[in-house]
Amino acid sequence: MPGILVVASALEGTLGRSALELVGGARTLAGPLGSKVSAALVGSGKALAGGPETLHRHGVETVYRCDQQALTAGQSDAALAAVDAVVKAAQPDVVLVGADTVGREVAPRLAYRLMAALATEVMSLAAEGQTILVRRQVYGGRAIATLAITSRPAVISVKPRTLDAPEPAPVPGRVEDVAVSIDPAALPTRVKEVQSQKAEVGLDDAQVVVGGGRGVGGPDGFKLLAQLAASLGGAVGSSRPPADEGWVPITWQIGQTGKSIRPNLYIAVGISGAAQHVAGVSGSRTIVAINKDPEAPIFSLAHLGLVGDYKQIVPALIERINAAKGA
């Protein structure tokens, strides 16, 4: 029976959320393709704990486990070696990889080793007979390309936070430990340092996000936006120019090279609405735009628009929100 292998990464110390998104995507394809879903659980020691159970609970019958000391944060070479070993054991037709920092290096390299068909950064998965159809953003988010994959094996990397996590669908499962020897000293790269600049409320999970653009004018303006975000229990992000200018850390950047987010509420302040940024937020349920320029492209994306100076509007908002909370 053909198989879809999901790469469930535990490199960061625990099973990442992308694993479940991929399982959801795999399950969408499994029915139409007549395939079984399995997972490659890669990590080291304690990071793997609970992983198989979580995967079984969401419908993955076979978990191929790879436990190696070298499988830690940022170690793409080790991850590639581990996934390669699992692929040899599982012989899947399709491999799904999350396009995170490591995944986006692993996917093409795995495709090379397998001479597989490759599609990267996809936002949706569907099947048409035995053809896999994927959609991905191109031209800075201005257009959507639909790719059709007929050959096997196929390696597909999925853009984080674009697929929904699946509903639980417990199945009795088994774990197969895959033997592979990864000598850290023999790897071409060595991870010397891993630095996290985690914000208080993560941009990835926040239900409310306030984003600032070039119109914010400088780092001070972002302090005001942070206050607004805090009053709404949300996170702050930015379009590319503030990150490029150094007004905000690069991890705040939303958009093509930055993150994609899908909060319930996205408030864009001083953001013109260039395609690249829009691509990162277009999945938001409600978009509010605050901008001095009534002709700014962001207003053709936003649901609610406020034309004016954010330096006057945002304090007024913060005041009213805090008043309503106090009441």
Would you say 172 or 246 has its CB closer to other proteins?
246
- Residue 235 as a binder of other proteins (CB under 8 A): the answer is no
Distance CA 118, CA 321 (A): 48
**Contact status, residue 223 vs residue 311, Cβ threshold 8 Å:** no
Beta bridge partners of 155: 95, 118
**Contact status, residue 204 vs residue 234, Cβ threshold 8 Å:** no
Subset of 215-234 contacting other proteins (CB under 8 A): 232
Distance CA 37, CA 40 (A): 10
- Residue 119 as a binder of other proteins (CB under 8 A): the answer is yes
**Closest separation in Å from C-beta 214 to other proteins:** 12
The one among 167, 179, 198, 327 contacting other proteins by CB under 8 A? 198
**Closest separation in Å from C-beta 1 to other proteins:** 22
Beta bridge partners of 128: 131
Subset of 11-50 contacting other proteins (CB under 8 A): none
| Spatial CA neighbour of 216 closest among 144, 141, 270, 272 | 270
User: 260-289 mask for other proteins (x: CB under 8 A)?
Assistant: ----xx---------x---------xxxxx
Would you say 139 or 169 has its CB closer to other proteins?
139
- Residue 302 as a binder of other proteins (CB under 8 A): the answer is yes
The one among 14, 17, 53, 74 contacting other proteins by CB under 8 A? 74
| Spatial CA neighbour of 154 closest among 93, 202, 113 | 93
Name the DSSP class of 252. G
- Residue 126 as a binder of other proteins (CB under 8 A): the answer is no
Region binding other proteins by CB under 8 A among candidate stretches 2-10, 46-54, 218-226, 313-321 = 313-321
Subset of 135-164 contacting other proteins (CB under 8 A): 136-140, 142-151, 154, 160
Would you say 62 or 276 has its CB closer to other proteins?
276
Sequence-distant (≥ 6) Cβ neighbours of residue 315 within 8 angstroms = 224
The one among 121, 162, 210, 281 contacting other proteins by CB under 8 A? 121
Distance CA 107, CA 12 (A): 18
**Closest separation in Å from C-beta 175 to other proteins:** 28
- Residue 322 as a binder of other proteins (CB under 8 A): the answer is no
Region binding other proteins by CB under 8 A among candidate stretches 42-50, 52-60, 216-224, 245-253 = 245-253
Distance CA 249, CA 199 (A): 10
The one among 133, 165, 175, 230 contacting other proteins by CB under 8 A? 133
Kindly write down the DSSP assignment for every residue of 138-177, as one continuous string.
EGGGTEEEEEEE-SSSEEEEE-TTSSPPPPP-----EEEE
Measured in degrees and rounded to the nearest 5, phi and psi for residue 91 equal: 50, 55
Distance CA 219, CA 207 (A): 24
- Residue 69 as a binder of other proteins (CB under 8 A): the answer is no
Would you say 57 or 311 has its CB closer to other proteins?
311
Helix (H) or strand (E) holding 290: strand 286-291
Region binding other proteins by CB under 8 A among candidate stretches 89-97, 98-106, 172-180, 216-224 = 98-106
The one among 167, 295, 326, 327 contacting other proteins by CB under 8 A? 295
- Residue 324 as a binder of other proteins (CB under 8 A): the answer is yes
